[in-house]
Amino acid sequence: MKNIAPIYITKPFLPPFEEFNEGLKRIWNSRMLTNFGPLYTELLSCLKNYLQVENLSLVVNGHQALEIAISALQLSGEVITTPFTFASTTHAIVRSGLEPVFCDIRMDNYNIDESKIEALITNKTSAILPVHVFGTPCNVEAIDSIAKQYGIKVIYDAAHAFGVKIGDRGIGSFGDITMFSFHATKVYNTIEGGALAFSNKELARDIYLRQDFGIANSEEVLLPGTNAKMNEFQALMGLLNLKYIDQEIINRQKKVELYRHHLRAIPGIKLLSNNIENLRENCAYFPIVVTEDYGLTRNELALMLQKHNIFPRKYFYPLTMDYACYRGKYRGETPTARYIADRVLCLPIWGEIDSEVIDYICGIISDLYNSYGLA
C-alpha cells in the first residue's frame, strides 16, 4: 500500500448523518438541551436493558462518573487500584482526597492481580478500584469475595468494557458500582459521556444529587455537588449508536481474528489472552507485547510503523504511579506492570477498518522480524 493516509489507533463510530440530523428536530421541538430531558430518559431506559443492570445514571463523561462514584460511596483513606490504566483512574482517587495503593497486574490479561490484593489491605482501606483493561474482565468473583470478607467497597472501571458479558451477566452487574465511559474513542460513544451502574438502588438519590449541584429542589441544596449531567445532544448520539453497537462489535471481532491470524506465529509478539468461559468480548483494543525475541524494542517497532504512516499507541505507558505528579508518593511494588508498560503497543482497531490495512500492518511487523528477529 502506497501513499496511504495516516492510520491512527481508532476512529469514532458515527451513525448516518441523515439520522442524526433528523434526530436534532426532537431537540429543537422540545427546547430541552439538558437537565434530564426526554432523550436522556429514553437512553437511560435503553441502556439499562442493553447493559442488563437494575440501576443506572448517565453522566457527562466517564471521569466525572468515577469521581461521583467515589463520593457517593463515601470512601476514605486508601483505595487499592492498578497503575496500568489511563490517568483518569488514579486522578479520580487523588482528586477525591484518597490515597491510591498500587497493586501489580497479571501477566496474561494485564488486569489487577487478584492474588496480590489481600496483602495490601490495611485498616485504612475503604475500597478496591480495578480496571477491566482493554475490555477483558478482571477476576470479578475473587475480587468481590475479598471485598465482602474485609467489608470494603468495589468500584469497577469499565471504561473499555461496554457490551462485555460473562455468560448471561452484563459486566456492569458486578461490584458496588461500575463506571462506563462513552468517550468518542470507545466502542460505544455518546460523543462524550459516561454512566454509573450500581447494585444498591438507595444510591440513586446520592448520585443524582452529586451530578446536579446537590440540588434537591428549588430551595434546598443538600451537598456540594458538581455539574455532570449528560445533555440531550449526547443522548441523541447514544440512542442512534446503540442501534449499531452489536454489528460494530461483530465487525471488531472479525478484525481482531485477522490480527491474531497474522501475528500469532511471530516470535516476540505476545497477544492478549484470557481464560474466561462464555465471554462476550467487545474487542475495544488490540494490544501486543513486544518481547526480546522480536529483535526490536517496542519503541523501535512503533517508530518503524510511524514511518509507514501507522500510528499505534504505547497504551498504557508510563504507569500512572510514574507520572511526575505521583512518582514516589504512593506505595506499591509492580514489576509485572512495569514489564508490560515498557513493551505494550496497541495497534489500530475499529469496526470499519479495512482488512487490507490490517494485512499491511501485520506484513510490516512480520518483515521487520525477518530482518531483525532472533531466529
Q: Are residues 258 and 179 in the same domain?
A: no
Question: Could you tell me if residue 11 is inside a domain?
Answer: no
Residues paired with residue 280 on neighbouring β-strands, in sequence order: 165
Q: What's the rounded Cα separation, in Å, for the pair 262 and 146?
A: 40
Is this prediction's pTM over 0.85? yes
**Same structural domain for residues 108 and 215?**
yes
Within a domain: residue 213? yes
Q: Which of 182, 209, 242 is the last residue of a domain?
A: 242
pLDDT in tens, the chain (375 residues): 766 899 999 999 999 999 999 999 999 999 999 999 999 999 999 999 999 999 999 999 999 999 999 999 999 999 999 999 999 999 999 999 999 999 999 999 999 999 999 999 999 999 999 999 999 999 999 999 999 999 999 999 999 999 999 999 999 999 999 999 999 999 999 999 999 999 999 999 999 999 999 999 999 999 999 999 999 999 999 999 999 999 999 999 999 999 999 999 999 999 998 788 899 999 999 999 999 999 999 999 999 999 999 999 999 999 999 999 999 999 999 999 999 999 999 999 999 999 999 999 999 999 999 998 765
202, 306: one domain: no
Measured distance CA(37)–CA(30) in Å, rounded: 9
Contact 341, 110 (CB under 8 A): no
Query: What is the CATH number for 71?
Result: 3.40.640.10
Same domain as 206, residue 305? no
Q: Is there a domain that residue 8 lies in? A: no
Of the three residues 221, 242, 263, the one that is the final residue of a domain is 242
User: How many domains, in total, are found in the chain?
Assistant: 2
Integer Cα distance of 260 and 148 in angstroms: 38
Kindly state whether residues 290 and 265 are assigned to the same domain.
Answer: yes
Among 242, 272, 297, identify where a domain stops: 242
Residues 149 and 50 in one domain: yes
* Side chain identity at residue 31, one-letter code: R
Do 59 and 196 form a contact (C-beta atoms < 8 A)? yes
Q: What domain range is 67 assigned to?
A: 17-242
Domain containing residue 343: CATH number: 3.90.1150.10
| CB 269, CB 263: distance < 8 Å | yes
Contact between 39 and 239 under an 8 Å Cβ cutoff? The reply is yes
Q: Are 46 and 158 contained in the same domain? A: yes
Q: How would you classify the pairing of strands 78-81 and 99-102?
A: parallel
The pLDDT of residue 126: 98
The reply to whether 134 and 205 lie within a common domain is yes
- Give me the sheet containing 153-157, strands edge to edge: 56-59, 194-198, 177-181, 153-157, 125-129, 78-81, 99-102
**Any residues with CB less than 8 A from the CB of 152 and at least 6 apart, and which?**
121, 125, 126, 127, 128
In a domain, 5, yes or no: no
Asked if residue 193 belongs to a domain, the reply is: yes
* Amino acid letter for position 286: F
Give the per-residue pLDDT at 2.
66
CA distance linking residue 160 with residue 103, whole number of Å: 19
C-alpha cell at 272: 492478549
6 lies in some domain = no
